[in-house]
């Protein structure tokens, strides 16, 4: 009898140690999966940088640059605010998308006869979760200004191609 009870105890220790080892492997695999998910670029988080105006010069006159900026505004569904827009200053109305709203401001300046520059500012605000108050955001995605300036550059070439 003592021999059979010893075998049962030994078998219980073997099953218990196997069961503990199985949990360790499962936890290890879940942990590795979590680390892989957090480290992949699929996590849709864009690096945020301080929101500062960006200036770039173009090899077109100011009138053509204005047409290019207006086309980019229209492409992005921004409407010019006629009360705040002048010959050298383009300002859009607020464009709301969910709990965010944005406005683009472009200041144009002629450098030479066939060269001008634009300074772009993107104003971004977020609505509070439990209130209707808009709060300005001081950070913006790192590539926002690069993408906008690239579009202005492409549109300036299209304006040149179209003959102004």
pTM across the whole model: 0.68
Distance in angstroms (rounded) separating the CA atoms of residues 109 and 83: 20
Do 103 and 140 reside in the same domain of the chain?
Answer: yes
Domain count, the chain: 2
Do 95 and 71 reside in the same domain of the chain?
Answer: yes
Do 32 and 103 reside in the same domain of the chain?
Answer: no
Residue 144 belongs to domain spanning: 48-162
pLDDT in the model for residue 18: 52
What contacts 24+ positions apart, CB below 8 Å, involve 86-93? 88/62, 90/66
Do 32 and 11 reside in the same domain of the chain?
Answer: yes
Distance in angstroms (rounded) separating the CA atoms of residues 84 and 90: 7
Q: Give the model confidence (pLDDT) of 24-36 as tens digits.
A: 777 767 777 666 6
Do 36 and 53 reside in the same domain of the chain?
Answer: no
What average pLDDT does the chain have? Answer: 82
Do 37 and 66 reside in the same domain of the chain?
Answer: no
Q: Give the model confidence (pLDDT) of 32-49 as tens digits.
A: 766 666 655 544 456 777
Do 94 and 139 reside in the same domain of the chain?
Answer: yes
Q: Which range has the worst mean pLDDT, 1-10, 22-31, 49-58, 133-142? A: 1-10
Do 72 and 128 reside in the same domain of the chain?
Answer: yes
């Amino acid at each position: 009898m003592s021999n059979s009870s010893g075998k049962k105890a030994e078998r219980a220790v073997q099953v218990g140690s196997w069961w503990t080892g199985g949990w360790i492997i499962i936890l290890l695999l879940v942990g590795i999966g979590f680390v892989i998910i957090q480290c992949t670029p699929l996590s849709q988080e864009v690096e945020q940088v301080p929101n500062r105006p960006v200036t770039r010069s173009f090899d077109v006159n100011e009138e053509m640059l204005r047409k290019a900026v207006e086309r980019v505004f229209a492409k992005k569904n921004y409407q010019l605010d006629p009360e705040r827009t002048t010959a050298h200053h383009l300002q859009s109305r607020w464009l709301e998308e969910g709990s965010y709203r944005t406005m683009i401001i472009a200041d144009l300046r002629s450098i030479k006869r066939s060269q001008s520059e634009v300074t772009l500012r993107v104003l971004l605000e977020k609505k509070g979760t439990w209130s209707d108050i808009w709060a300005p955001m001081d950070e913006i995605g790192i590539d926002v200004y690069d993408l906008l300036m690239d579009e202005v550059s492409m549109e300036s070439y299209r304006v040149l191609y179209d003959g102004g």
